[in-house]
């Protein structure tokens, strides 16, 4: 290349393209720091307090000397202007501008400026950092760089450019001679003599922003100058990206990207030629070819928009080369791709990946849908990265997230593929031609806000490209024919109410994710005594990966228990996502608000109103409560839209109507919006009205033949039943509704085992309002007494029953008087006062018989049988229990029947009638599983344990007893004093039999889920197959 330090006129073949060109000399200076030469016309030996020790290099734009700073005793580089340029105001201005630009940059990969000085003769000179080492040009004289060295050097150059571009500075003369490599491998970018700001305030201009460049003047070094530099067109950060691509090609191949014996030939090559791609070594990852090609696009709009994007691709290529991960590596698979590299571990999702790969094998368009933060993008990337070898045409990732205009969808796809619009051909046709060459996989991320446009484009590409497949991620399906939609589930969470060991919890993907992310910010983090809190956090966050990651990030400054305690204010707690992410992906609130803001007003209204539901809702409930429309079909249409947008989850239970629910995080956001809109009071009034009517309708059925259907129905709504009473403020408009509801719901709470919370709510209800007549309030007091009795609070229960008895006697309500007498008898029975208990039961029995209350009669027969059993009158006890069973079977009260069957099992076990005991326990268990009643389950487990012990199966007996112990503890159902003494004897006997194996069996029972314990018990009982058991 000839050295040029003057203006040269170049005439191109095209008309009107005669440009005046300022070409940087090549090379501009030498950089041999080991043996500085003294020029023939030596300068003064000193400049101020700097002693010049020799010349480091010179070029058309300056001379650089090695000098010693006498004040700080250090070596520096001093750059001066040649005399002929120092007299030129324009050159002098450029010199001073270089000083100011360098002073604005502070980065380890940019040579530091120490100052701008003025000599006595008014000449100016720069005091620069002295960089030891060699230039990249010197290094390349010894041959091409290995792949890993190329990447490390290029990565540091990219970091330097990124720092400059962030300050609004573009270099405009990037080349190997302006890149120094220190002996330690540190890269320093030099010579900002042609650099310029893209805006006056130093902010980086957006791609396409213009620079003030003198018309007809091109500045730079041919072979590294971009086409827009050559043509003296506006320049921005992408000008440096072109030069960067030239350097990357040269480093890998050892040859320049564009070569010619003349400057005109070199310019023509840059404007219309291509590098010799065959010169890139075969061992270089295929991704390098794609990256360099994008950097060297003639049209700046087709290059990467930022050097940050280039640096990210470089890091991915370096990791691919270092790890040798064949299944995910373009260099070994031979497949080009631009997939972003994972920056954090991928946790779980084995089943989802297998299912998605299966579905993609059956369709050409697979759309992964899910709520914001559910992990759609990570799942899609992991899915397609395993399919590289099957797609010779490449796997290409396009993120629509940053797009604010749907019209840019096609351009975004084109840019990712390196396709540009050509004269006489539409961009769509160019895309179809590019994608139709060989099997290609396209990943379209974040489609929800450009749904219609992206859908049309996908449809056109699929029709025109027979070997194209598309994986899309969106909060809503694209709605295309043949589209396979896969709803991405949240991560599995530990079951509520079940006890787990730390090792068992670590098997849940949600817990794994929390632990891994917490360890990243707190290396000493371990899953130990905090395991239950971690499980609760994952459960309360619905297994949403993004929410769990944000929560785990707080482990840097908060204990796990503190994080759990602050989840009630989750939107303030769960912030601090990646600063590189879009704003809507940085906080939990923002990701949900993004979806909410894109809803139609009527959809927003429904979403707000649905927040009143706790634990889900039915279509009927939504129509009756939300106030959007009385037409169920209109509500269904709106609800379907919310389901389609991944804001509502639909659940289909076999044999039951569909139910809908929010993830709790979405519900919390919708509830905030409901309160802000001032709609809360009206919606809550309709909510309590609806569920009050439901429990009043259910109440008589809870003792009838269809009680199982009603228990199951109320089980599905139990959170709504709690919420209806909790959300009174207190009831001011219609407190009678809350009183009616409390009086009707307590029996369900007793059957379902919701003892503590039910009693608390009833007490708060009575204390919050004086509404309701004496009998209405007495009904609630009676319910509270029953719940308290079940919890072992006999004193509290007796006080409440005494109050009820006075009210009912005054009202002349004999049926309720009998019920109160029976409760007083229950309390006496548990206290061991069997004579008082018998007297009260018989008194109640007389009243029930006189009133013809068969159900009351059956209950008192059972209760009198319990007294007989405890007073060791076994024959009387069995007779009374049998009579009670007959009545209960006739009435269809299967829950009460199960209690009496348990009593009969007790007698059979005690008398070693093990065949009868098995039959009673098995029938009891089948009933309770069918009607889903929880409280009597204790008798099943404890009677089953007694049976197993008598059969010699001590381990099974201990396991079942451990499961019963957990259920008692969770439900708050203690033994009475007499029962406790008996239980201690049973456990002591089992411990003696099992010896060292007791603790293991006991722990296994305590950790097993109730449903699993019952299933195992039933399978064991049925395996006995009716044969007479033998001890």
The proportion of the chain whose per-residue pLDDT surpasses 90, expressed as a percent, equals: 41
Q: Is 370 left (phi over 0), alpha (psi -120 to 50) or beta?
A: left
Residue-level pLDDT at 411: 85
Residue 564 and residue 544 in contact, taking contact as beta carbons nearer than 8 Å: no
CA dist 537 and 542 (Å) reads 9
Report whether 473 contacts 380 (CB < 8 A): yes
Torsion of CA 129, 132, 137, 140, to 10 degrees: -150
- Joined together, the tokens standing for residue 430 give 């160019």
> In whole angstroms, what is the distance from residue 427 CA to residue 415 CA?
11
* pLDDT at 3 exceeding the cut of 70: no
- What local confidence, expressed as pLDDT, does residue 785 receive? 96
Among the listed residues 32, 164, 175, the one whose alpha carbon sits nearest the alpha carbon of residue 110: 164
Confidence of residue 434 (pLDDT cuts 50, 70, 90): confident
Please name every residue paired with 181 in a beta bridge, in sequence order, or none if there are none.
134, 187
Distance CA 581, CA 159 (A): 19
How long, in residues, is the chain?
1031
Predicted confidence band at 326 (pLDDT cuts at 50, 70, 90)?
very low
Cα–Cα distance for residue pair 339/220, rounded to 1 Å: 34
Residue 562 scores a pLDDT above 70: yes
Nearest-angstrom CA–CA distance, 765 and 731: 9
Nearest to 114 by CA among 79, 81, 82, 90: 79
Q: Which residues contact 114 (CB under 8 A, 6 or more apart)?
A: 76, 127, 128, 129
| DSSP notation for 80-123 | E--HHHHT-HHHHHHHHHHHHHHHT---TTBPPEEEEEE-TTS-
- Pairing relationship of beta strands 169-170 and 196-197 according to DSSP bridges: antiparallel
User: Nearest CA to 990 among 940, 1029, 1028, 948?
Assistant: 948
> Is 173 known to be catalytic?
yes
3-class SS of residue 137: helix
Round to the nearest angstrom and report the end-to-end CA distance of the chain. 103
Q: What is the pLDDT of residue 574?
A: 57
State the pLDDT at residue 358. 94
State what percent of residues in the chain have pLDDT above 70: 86
Residue 732's contacts (CB-CB under 8 Å, 6 or more residues apart) are none
Burial group, residue 555, by CB count within 10 angstroms (0-12, 13-18, 19+): buried
Angle between helices 954-971 and 937-950 (to 10 degrees): 160
- Mean pLDDT computed over 815-840: 95
| Tokens linked to 243 | 């030069």
Predicted confidence at residue 804, as pLDDT, reads 96
Lowest-confidence pick of 674-678, 683-687, 723-727: 723-727
Q: Which helix (H) or strand (E) holds 366?
A: strand 365-369
The predicted model gives 800-824 an average pLDDT of 96
**Proportion of the chain in helix, strand, coil states, percent, rounded to 5:** 55, 10, 35
- Mean pLDDT value across the chain: 83
CB 138 within 8 A of CB 97: no
Summarize pLDDT for 345-381 with one digit per residue, the tens.
888 889 999 999 999 999 999 999 988 888 888 899 9
Residues ≥6 apart with Cβ < 8 Å to 501: 531, 1007
Per-residue pLDDT reduced to its tens digit, 888-897: 999 999 999 9
The tens digit of pLDDT for each residue in 120-176 reads 766 778 888 888 889 999 999 999 998 888 888 998 999 889 888 888 888 888 999
Q: Decide: residue 402, CB within 10 A, 0-12 exposed, 13-18 middle, 19+ buried.
A: exposed
* Predicted confidence band of residue 36 (pLDDT cuts 50, 70, 90): very low
User: Which of 289-293, 667-671, 729-733, 995-999 has the least mean pLDDT?
Assistant: 729-733
pLDDT average, residue stretch 411-420: 80
The CA distance from 412 to 399, in Å, is 8
Alpha helix segments (H runs only) across 598-663: 601-610, 619-626, 632-644
Per-residue pLDDT band for 989 (boundaries 50, 70, 90) equals very high
C-alpha span between 759 and 786 (Å, rounded): 9
Least confident of 335-349, 400-414, 545-559, 962-976: 335-349
pLDDT for 217: 53
Q: How many CB atoms lie within 10 A of CB 416?
A: 18
Indicate which residue of 159, 173, 793, 965 is catalytic.
173
Q: What is the pLDDT of residue 555?
A: 85
Write down the pLDDT at residue 578. 45
Q: pLDDT-based confidence at 24, cuts 50/70/90?
A: very low
The pLDDT of residue 333: 39
pLDDT at position 815 over 80: yes
Q: Which residues share a beta bridge with 10?
A: 19
| Cα 292 from Cα 558, distance rounded (Å) | 46
Angle at 373 between CA 371 and CA 376, to 5 degrees: 75
Select the more confidently predicted residue: 880 or 565. Answer: 880
Predicted pLDDT of residue 44 = 58
Rounded CA separation 890/908 (Å): 23
In this predicted structure, the answer to whether residue 89 has a pLDDT above a threshold of 50 is yes
Residue 940 — pLDDT band, cuts 50, 70, 90? very high
Helix (DSSP H) and strand (DSSP E) numbers for the chain: 44, 21
Cβ contacts of 588 within 8 Å, gap of 6 or more? 373, 546, 547, 550, 570, 571, 574, 575, 665
* Whole-number pLDDT of residue 202: 35
225: which residues sit within 8 A by CB, 6+ positions away?
218, 242, 243, 270
- Mark the binding-site residues, compressed into ranges: 79
Does the pLDDT at position 324 exceed 60? no
Select the more confidently predicted residue: 58 or 565. Answer: 565
pLDDT tens across 392-408, in order? 778 889 888 777 788 88
What pLDDT is stored for residue 935 in this prediction?
81
Per-residue pLDDT, 646: 84
SS (H, E, C) 150-172: HHHHHHHHHHHHHHHHHCCEECC
Token readout for 904 is 């009969």
Q: With contact defined as beta carbons under 8 Å apart, do 625 and 686 qualify?
A: yes
Per the model's pLDDT, the better-predicted residue between 928 and 286 turns out to be 928
Closest CA to 248 of 111, 149, 180, 395: 149
Encoded tokens for 752: 């379902």
**Residue 958 — very low, low, confident or very high, per pLDDT cuts 50/70/90?**
very high
| Calpha distance 68→47 (Å, rounded) | 10
The Cα–Cα gap between 621 and 624 comes to 5
Asked if residue 720 has pLDDT above 90, the reply is: yes
Residues 207-213 have a mean pLDDT of 34
In this predicted structure, what is the pLDDT of residue 788?
Answer: 95
pLDDT tens-place string over residues 472-497: 999 889 989 999 999 999 898 888 77
Residue 849 to residue 632: CA distance in whole angstroms: 48
- Is pTM beyond 0.85 here? no
Is pLDDT larger for residue 556 or for residue 19?
556
The annotation places the binding site for ATP at: 79
Cis bond upstream, residue 27 (ω within 30): yes
Please say whether the dihedral angle defined by the alpha carbons of residues 881, 885, 891 and 895, taken in this order, is positive or negative: positive
pLDDT digits (tens, 9 = 90+) for 500-521: 778 888 889 888 889 888 888 8
pLDDT in tens, 998-1019: 999 999 999 888 889 999 999 9
Band of pLDDT at residue 85, cut at 50, 70 and 90:
low
- Would you state the structure tokens that stand for residue 886, as one six-digit string? 């007959």
Integer angstrom CA distances of residue 617 from 7, 205, 370, 542, 774: 80, 51, 20, 17, 34
pLDDT grade for 572, boundaries at 50, 70 and 90: low
Decide if pLDDT at 205 tops 60.
no
């Amino acid at each position: 290349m000839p050295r040029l330090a003057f203006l040269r006129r170049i005439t191109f073949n095209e008309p009107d393209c005669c440009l005046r060109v300022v070409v940087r000399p090549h090379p501009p200076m030498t950089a041999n720091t080991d043996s500085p030469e003294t020029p023939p016309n030596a300068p003064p030996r000193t400049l101020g307090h700097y002693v010049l020790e020799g010349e480091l290099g010179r070029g058309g734009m300056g001379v650089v000397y090695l000098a010693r700073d006498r004040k700080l005793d250090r070596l520096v580089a001093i750059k001066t202007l040649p005399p002929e340029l120092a007299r030129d105001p324009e050159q002098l201005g450029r010199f001073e501008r270089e000083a100011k630009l360098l002073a604005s940059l502070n980065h380890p990969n940019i040579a530091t400026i120490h100052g701008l000085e003025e000599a006595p003769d008014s000449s100016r000179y720069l005091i620069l950092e002295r960089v030891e080492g060699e230039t990249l040009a010197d290094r390349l004289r010894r041959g091409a760089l290995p792949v890993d060295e190329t990447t490390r050097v290029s990565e540091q150059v990219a970091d330097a450019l990124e720092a400059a571009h962030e300050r609004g500075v573009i270099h405009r003369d990037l080349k190997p001679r302006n890149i120094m490599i220190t002996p330690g491998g540190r890269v320093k970018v030099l010579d900002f003599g042609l650099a310029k700001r893209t805006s006056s305030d130093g902010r980086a201009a957006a791609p396409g922003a213009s620079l003030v460049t003198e018309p007809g003047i091109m500045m730079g070094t041919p072979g590294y100058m971009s086409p827009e530099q050559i043509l003296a067109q506006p320049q921005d950060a992408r000008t440096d990206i072109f030069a960067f691509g030239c350097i990357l090609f040269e480093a890998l191949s050892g040859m320049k990207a564009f070569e010619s014996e003349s400057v005109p030939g070199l310019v023509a090559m840059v404007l219309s030629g291509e590098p010799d791609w065959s010169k890139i070594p075969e061992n270089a990852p295929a991704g390098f070819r794609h990256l360099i090609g994008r950097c060297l696009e003639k049209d700046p709009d087709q290059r990467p928009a930022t050097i940050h994007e280039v640096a990210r691709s470089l890091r991915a290529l370096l990791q691919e080369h270092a790890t040798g991960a064949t299944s995910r590596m373009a260099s070994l698979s031979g497949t080009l791709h631009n997939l972003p590299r994972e920056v954090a571990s991928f946790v779980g999702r084995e089943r989802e990946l297998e299912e998605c790969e299966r579905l993609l094998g059956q369709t050409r368009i697979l759309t992964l849908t899910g709520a914001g933060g559910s992990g759609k993008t990570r799942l899609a990337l992991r899915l397609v990265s395993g399919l590289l070898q099957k797609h010779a045409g490449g796997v290409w990732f396009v993120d629509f997230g940053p797009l604010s205009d749907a019209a840019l969808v096609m351009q975004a796809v084109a840019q990712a593929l390196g396709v540009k619009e050509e004269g006489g051909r539409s961009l769509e046709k160019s895309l179809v031609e590019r994608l139709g060459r060989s099997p290609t996989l396209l990943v379209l991320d974040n489609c929800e806000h450009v749904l219609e446009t992206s859908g049309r484009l996908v449809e056109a590409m699929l029709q025109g490209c027979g070997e194209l497949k598309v994986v899309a991620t969106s909060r809503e399906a694209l709605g295309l024919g043949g589209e396979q939609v896969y709803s991405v589930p949240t991560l599995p969470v530990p079951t509520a109410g079940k006890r787990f060991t730390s090792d068992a919890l670590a098997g849940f993907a949600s817990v794994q994710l929390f632990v891994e992310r917490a360890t990243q910010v707190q290396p000493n983090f371990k899953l130990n005594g905090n395991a239950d809190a971690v499980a609760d956090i994952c459960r309360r966050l619905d297994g949403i990966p993004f929410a769990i990651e944000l929560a785990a990030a707080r482990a840097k400054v908060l204990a796990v228990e503190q994080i759990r305690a602050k989840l009630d204010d989750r939107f303030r707690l769960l912030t601090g996502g990646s600063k590189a992410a879009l704003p809507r992906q940085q906080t939990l609130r923002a990701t949900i608000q993004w979806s909410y803001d894109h809803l139609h007003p009527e959809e927003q209204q429904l979403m707000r109103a649905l927040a009143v539901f706790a634990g889900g809702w039915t279509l009927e409930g939504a129509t009756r409560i939300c106030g959007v429309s009385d037409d169920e079909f209109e509500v269904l249409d709106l609800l379907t839209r919310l389901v389609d947008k991944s804001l509502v989850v639909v659940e289909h239970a076999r044999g039951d109507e569909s139910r809908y629910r929010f993830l709790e995080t979405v519900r919390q956001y919708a509830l905030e919006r409901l309160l802000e809109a001032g709609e809360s009071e009206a919606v809550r009034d309709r909510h309590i009205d609806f569920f009050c009517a439901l429990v009043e309708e259910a109440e008589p059925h809870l003792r009838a033949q269809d009680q199982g259907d009603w228990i199951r129905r109320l089980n599905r709504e139990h959170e709504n039943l709690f919420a209806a009473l909790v959300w009174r403020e207190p009831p001011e408009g219609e407190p009678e509704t809350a009183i009616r509801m409390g009086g009707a719901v307590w029996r369900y709470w007793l059957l379902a085992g919701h003892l503590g919370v039910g009693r608390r709510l009833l007490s708060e209800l009575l204390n919050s309002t004086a509404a309701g007549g004496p009998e209405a309030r007495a009904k609630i007091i009676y319910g509270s007494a029953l719940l308290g009795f079940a919890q072992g609070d006999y004193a509290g229960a007796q006080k409440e029953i005494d109050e009820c008895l006075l009210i009912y006697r005054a009202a002349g309500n004999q049926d309720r008087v009998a019920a109160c007498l029976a409760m007083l008898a229950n309390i006496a029975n548990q206290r061991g006062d069997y004579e008082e208990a018998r007297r009260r039961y018989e008194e109640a029995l007389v009243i029930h018989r006189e009133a013809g209350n068969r159900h009351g009669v059956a209950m008192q027969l059972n209760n009198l049988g319990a007294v007989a059993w405890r007073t060791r009158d076994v024959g009387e006890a069995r007779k009374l229990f049998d009579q009670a069973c007959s009545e209960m079977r006739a009435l269809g009260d299967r829950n009460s029947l199960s209690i009496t069957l348990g009593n009969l099992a007790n007698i059979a076990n005690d008398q070693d009638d093990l065949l009868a005991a098995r039959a009673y326990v098995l029938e009891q268990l089948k009933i309770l599983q069918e009607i889903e009643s929880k409280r009597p389950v204790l008798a099943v487990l404890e009677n089953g344990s007694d049976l197993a012990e008598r059969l010699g199966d001590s381990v099974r007996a201990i396991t079942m007893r451990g499961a019963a112990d957990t259920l008692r503890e969770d439900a708050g159902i203690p033994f009475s004093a007499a029962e406790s003494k008996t239980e201690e004897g049973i456990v002591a006997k089992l411990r003696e039999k099992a010896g060292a194996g007791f603790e293991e069996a006991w722990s296994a029972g305590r950790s097993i889920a109730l449903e699993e314990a019952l299933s195992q018990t039933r399978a064991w009982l049925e395996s006995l197959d009716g044969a007479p058991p033998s001890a």
